[in-house]
Each structure stands twice: as structure tokens, then as C-alpha cells.
Amino acid sequence: MIIFLSLAEASLAVPKYSKSGCKDTCGNIRIPYPFGIGADYSVNPWYIVDCISLKPYLSAALNHLEVLSVNLEDQTITVNMPKISDCQNSSQIMGIDLGRSPFLYSKSHNNFVVEGCGNAVMMDHGSTLTGCSASCDNVTVGNKNTGLGFSCCQTTIPYYLKSYTMNLTRLDRQAGGYGGCRSAFLVDKNSSDDTFVVRDGSFVPVSLLWTLSDLDKHKVTCCDALNGGLVVDTGNGTTLNTWKCSRDYRPFEGSPYLIDGCQDTEECAKCKLDNGRYCDYTRIYDVDGLAKEWNFTCGHILIAASIEGFQYMLQQKEIDPSLVNKTILFTSRELAKATDNFNENRVLGRGGQGTIYKGMLADGKIVAVKKSKSDDESQLEQFINEVVILSQVNHRNLVKLLGCFLETEVPLLVFEYIPNGNLYDCIHNESHEFPLSLNMRLQIATEVAQALAYLHSAISIPIYHRDIKTSNILLDGLEGLKHKGAPRTPHSIPSRD
């Protein structure tokens, strides 16, 4: 009992959000690295947070903006910004200039809002970005879907901004009691109505994208991957590259910008404490294509699918169990990263029992990953049989099995990637770059026959494919026309008869 509790405590380790010696909260607001409370604890001086009366504020260079939240996944920090109102006939209002700071007004997380009786145009260095008009006719109280208060409108902004100005013009017709005053401002579009009124109602939450330069990347030690491919549109054809520590295949607790900052979520850690179970996450996206939430599953690991179970199955089939040592055993993390978390854009083909994804391993090697459609235990026998069969074959005209992943309900197989599609598409696509000559067709037939002869008679236990068709003949190089006659989809995997 003592040992069990010790293991539980170790598995439910406290996530690390800040550098050693630094507090990670101010009041009830979490301040994770690369931000830091006080000097010497942030990635650079712009990321220093001052904790004053249990409220966090960015540095003086950014007007002591109050911090409402920091989102490591979206790479945003939400702050309170002044909501400036005007009651004159017309005026121009300047938003806070982010200047030389590493922050930008996020186009993905903010809307431009106009309240009151008037028109407003948002501009960037004299160029019009967007605008809308709020009429005071038939004034009603708004909501977060149609407006933020009396008579309002809202719209999106076209790109990420360092600064902006707003031109406000009063409409002639005004609603009684509203006084003709109006205001225009950016506001975090995911905030609810009741968060708009902060203190005396003169502040609104605004989300800023924070960026890391080439100098900053040397001051972070990612617990996972450092992604330098995040390109930010800053308008007029200009872009900004920013570094980001990412762990896109599974949510975590802690800061990914610290080497020991990625801990399993509490629900995942508790799931793993139950022997024979594993946790799995699937991304859910909103209509804008932004990651919205994760769908969590705590599933059962099939005991027979473990390495020991695999070896036992090999013994039953009178196959040398040392075969498992010749097959690469991939991790779920490797294959999730290789396929961009099994992104639909990576699908090469679908069969009756599963889907094939194009993937790239850490060493740059391109592979094809087959993910079984079913988690039915009855399918395990076929999976083991498939590994057994494909591990025995070695012929230049048969697709090679590179490895597998055994530790989930849904088995995964990793094959070499064949780049030029299948024979069926080559025959039926009239616009194909390489039309098949008679000699090419004879060569394909010859090499398929050689592969079948190998399966039937050259290995100790004969294998009968039983599903030879043009869609299962893959083309590896049309110029030299070396072809591989081998299955691509689960229903056509060779079977031992």
C-alpha cells in the first residue's frame, strides 16, 4: 500500500510553470515562463510582470497594463486596456502603441467594436483597415453576439498590428438619453459580456500575441519541440517569424518553455494510475480553424498487444520470438508528430479496416502510417498476423514494414513510403505525366510475378496475397520504372493461408 501511494504521488507531480525561485501566480492569475514575476525570471525585460496588491502588471514600458491571463497554447496575453469614449462631433483616438515591444494586437482573438451613435474607421499609419456604423435608432441592450452595450457594431481586423488610430464621427440622429457619446476599441472576442465591465467600466480585455526572436530562443529550453515556422501577417505583404515551444499532439500542465515543464494533465495522470489504461486526446477546432478544446479519452490497453503478448503470439505461430527485436517499435509521440496528429490533410488512402497517413520521422524519412479503424479485440489476431507476415518478407518488389506501435487499442503499422501512387490511377488518368508504353506494362507484369513467386515459394511458410489488383500495385519511380507489387490498404494485406 505504501509503494502504491508513492507511485501515485510521483505520477501526479506538481507542474512547473516558472523558473526556480520564482512565484508563478499573482493573486489568482497564473504567470508562466517566458513571463516572470520580478527581474531575472523572464525571457527578456519586456516579459517582466510586477505583482502589485495581488494584481499583475506588465512593465512600465507598456503603461503598466494589467494582466488578465496568459495562454501558452495560443501564444497570447490578455490585458486590460482603456476604453476611450468621446462626446464631441468628431475626433481621432489613438490606441496604445506597442512600439518596439515583442507584442502585437492579435487579429485572431480581437474584434473592432463601435458603441454609441456614430461611425468609426480603424486606420494603420493612414491606411484604412476596417470600420462600422452604430445607429441609435430603436436602441436596445446588446449581447455578446450582436454588440456589447447600447447601439453597437463589431467587425474583424485584417492583420496583426503594432498600433492603430480611430476616426469617430457622430450620426445626426441620436437616441434620447444616450447623449451622442460614442467609443471605439479593440476587445477580446472570446470574453463574455460581464468581463467587459472592469472596475468602473472604462477598461476592456484585449489579447496581444507575444513573439520570441532569434535572440530569445537561446534563453528557453523546450520540454518538446521548438517551432520556428510560426509566420505572423503584419500587413502590406510583410511578415514576422516567431519561435514557439509546442506540444501539439497532447495538452499538458506546466510551461513548455522549461525543460521539465510538460506534465500530463491531472485527468491523464489519474487515468494512467489505473493499470491497463492509457489517455488519448483529439483536437476540436472552431469555425476559424483555431484550436478550441481537447476531447479526452481514457481507454484500455489490450494486454495481448504488449510486446510480451506479441512474443507469445509469435510462439503460437511457431515463429522465432526474436523477430520482435528486428522490428522498430515506435512511440505514440513519434507517430503523432510524424503525421501532425493524424491530420486529415495527410491521408493517402482509406480501406475497409483503416486509414493510411503520410508521415515524416524525426530524421526526415518519409513513411506511410496505417492506423486501424477498429479497436475490437477480435482484430488483434489479424494485426499480429500482419506483423508476422510482413516481418518475414524481404523483396525489392514488396513494400517493407519498417515498424509498429503496440501500446494502444488501435494498432499502428509503419511502412516505407512509395511516392508515385498506384497503377490504377496511372492507367485511368489520361493526363498522367508518364503514359505507360507496352514495355512498361510488360515490366510491371514481370515484377509483380516475381514478387508473387517469392511469396509463394521463396520463404519458409508460403504467403498468398489473394487481392492482386491495380490499386495494390504501387509505383516507386516512373522514370526507371521499378515497381512494387504490394498492398496499401488494410483489407489487402497478404494473408497466410
Reported as a single tens digit per residue, the pLDDT across 162-183 is 988 888 777 655 444 445 577 7
User: How many Å apart are CA 400 and CA 397, to the nearest integer?
Assistant: 9
Which pLDDT belongs to residue 37?
94
Which pLDDT belongs to residue 265?
83
Element (H, E) at 259: none
Which pLDDT belongs to residue 53?
93
Element (H, E) at 4: helix 2-11
Distances 463 to 274, 311, 412, 413 between C-alpha atoms, Å: 40, 21, 22, 19
pLDDT band for 50, please (50, 70, 90 cuts): very high
Claim to verify: residue 248 and residue 380 sit in the same structural domain? no
Selected catalytic residue, list 97, 248, 467, 476: 467
Average pLDDT of the segment spanning 105-130: 85
Structural domain including 129 reads 78-210
Buried b (16+ CB within 10 A) or exposed e, 39-66: eebbbeebbbbbbeeeebbbbeebeebb
Claim to verify: residue 360 and residue 242 sit in the same structural domain? no
- Within 8 A by CB and 6+ apart from 201, the residues are 83
Domain boundary at 157, 178, 210, which? Answer: 210
Claim to verify: residue 134 and residue 205 sit in the same structural domain? yes
DSSP string, 93-162: EEPPP-TTSSEEE-TTTEEEEEEESEEEEEEETTEEEEEEEE--TT--B--TTT-SSBSEEEE--SS-BS
Reported as a single tens digit per residue, the pLDDT across 368-389 is 998 876 555 555 566 666 676 7
Claim to verify: residue 307 and residue 391 sit in the same structural domain? yes
Could you tell me if residue 70 is inside a domain?
A: no
Which pLDDT belongs to residue 329?
74
Which pLDDT belongs to residue 7?
33
Distances 118 to 121, 149, 203 between C-alpha atoms, Å: 10, 14, 20
pLDDT band for 413, please (50, 70, 90 cuts): confident
Claim to verify: residue 324 and residue 372 sit in the same structural domain? yes
More confident residue, 420 or 56: 56
Claim to verify: residue 232 and residue 330 sit in the same structural domain? no
Could you tell me if residue 190 is inside a domain?
A: yes
488 is written with which cell numbers? Answer: 496499401
Claim to verify: residue 237 and residue 181 sit in the same structural domain? no
Q: What is the mean pLDDT of the chain?
A: 75
Claim to verify: residue 479 and residue 410 sit in the same structural domain? yes
Could you tell me if residue 73 is inside a domain?
A: no
Q: Catalytic: 497?
A: no
Reported as a single tens digit per residue, the pLDDT across 444-495 is 889 888 888 888 888 776 777 777 888 888 887 654 443 343 333 333 333 3
- Within 8 A by CB and 6+ apart from 437, the residues are none
Domain boundary at 182, 210, 238, which? Answer: 210
3-state secondary structure of 252: coil
3-state secondary structure of 433: coil
Claim to verify: residue 185 and residue 295 sit in the same structural domain? no
25 is written with which cell numbers? Answer: 501566480
Domain boundary at 210, 235, 261, which? Answer: 210
168 contacts 181 by C-beta, under 8 angstroms: no
85 contacts 201 by C-beta, under 8 angstroms: no
Domain count, the chain: 4
